[in-house]
Amino acid sequence: MYPLIRNRRLRATESIRRLVRETTISPDDFLTPLFVVEGKGIKEEIASMPDQYRLSLDNLEKEVKELWKMGLCAVLLFVKVPDNLKDNKGTEALNANGLMQRAIKTVKNACPDMLVMTDVAMDPYSSYGHDGIVENGQILNDETSEFLSEMSISHAKAGADFVAPSDMMDGRILTIREALEDEGFINTGIMSYSAKYASAFYGPFRDALDSAPVNQKDVPKDKKTYQMDFANRFEAIRETQMDIEEGADIVMVKPGLAYLDIVREIKNEVDVPIAVYQVSGEYAMLKAAAEKGWLDHDAVMMEQLIAIKRAGANIIASYFAKDAVKLM
């Protein structure tokens, strides 16, 4: 009891603060998202994501080597697909010599120990910008899951360590797990985007890949029939538990900062590793405020990353990975 107990004793100097600190982060915690494009010598900055680039394979190779040198050990790959290769069924995603498949091989050749995770979803390949096949104004569930299992096998064949389905179709984790087992990919992991919300924070990402839903008759204008309603909490637990039962090795909450209540809730319920995706819009907000001189970039970035870890994240997918590691 005060004055016998004075909590400020444990805050008096940086050394005592270090000694009693409950949460720390290291390069081991990060999954670095990377955007890949066709071409040579390309490193295009994404307008709404300063310091993030669309990389051609030669630059991807350089980038991955740099990340590895910095101590980062895992990447999450996304591809920007040329419009002429898009259709309603995502056909190009299964091309054994497609951009994603070549990107996986490029990373593995450059850096064999770098863990490669791949985005498994139809949207970058869809002429409608949806994560599933569109029919009569609906997103087909089971046909899409079937397709995603083929896509996963294609990534596994190219050398992906983990596939990361980000589509939110029902039952797709089981469909994918069974397909991987059938094809002998028993060690290919699944990181499921298990509680992924229909969020406006994905805006800059959709600019990066030109993957936003198109504005067209009979095409849903948003992803609200498959991604979760951001007003819901219990549903996130149910989604996560189902994905674990279906065979997910790692589960995810996405976006990050506005959803840390969900992260903690899930942390208290399940015992598999939890990834949190600090998404493009979160990145853009801090970059913009820092550019205006309104926020201290590095300080706010570290505060946010620690908050994500403190909430219960074991893995943080973040565009800040490099910036953060430079400060460690």
Build a one-symbol-per-residue string for 151-180: x at contacts with ligand PBG by CB under 6 A, - elsewhere.
---------------xx-------------
Q: Which residues of 134-159 are buried (b: 16+ CB within 10 A; e: fewer)?
A: beeeebbbeebbbbbbbbbbbbbebb
Q: Which of 86, 254, 287, 309 is catalytic?
A: 254
Q: Is 46 in the site for ligand PBG (CB under 6 A)?
A: no
Least Å distance between CB 101 and ligand PBG?
18
If one asks whether residue 279 binds ligand PBG (CB under 6 A), the answer comes out as yes
Note whether 202 binds ligand PBG by CB under 6 A.
yes
Distances in Å between the Cα of 312 and the Cα atoms of 167, 194, 201, 271 are 23, 15, 21, 11
Beta bridge partners of 277: 317
Residue 52 binds to ligand PBG (criterion: CB under 6 A): no
Q: Tokens representing 205?
A: 């990402």
Cα separation, 77 vs 95, whole angstroms: 16
In angstroms, rounded to a whole number, what is the distance separating the alpha carbons of residues 263 and 280? 18
Task: Note whether 304 binds ligand PBG by CB under 6 A.
Answer: no
Indicate the helix (H) or strand (E) that contains 194.
Answer: strand 189-196
By CB under 6 A, residue 35 contacts ligand PBG? no
Residue 16 or 47: which CB sits closer to ligand PBG?
47
Task: Indicate whether 239 belongs to the interface with ligand PBG (CB under 6 A).
Answer: no
Task: Determine which residue in the list 63, 92, 131, 246 makes contact with ligand PBG, applying CB under 6 A.
Answer: 131
Q: To 5 degrees, how large is the angle CA 314–CA 65–CA 209?
A: 70
Is 254 a catalytic site residue?
yes
Catalytic residue list contains 292: no
- 3-class SS at 155? helix
In the complex, least distance from residue 64 CB atom to ligand PBG, rounded to whole angstroms? 19
Task: Give the residue numbers annotated as catalytic, written as ranges.
Answer: 196, 254
List residues near ligand PBG by CB under 6 A. Answer: 119, 121, 123, 131, 166-167, 202, 205-206, 223, 279-280
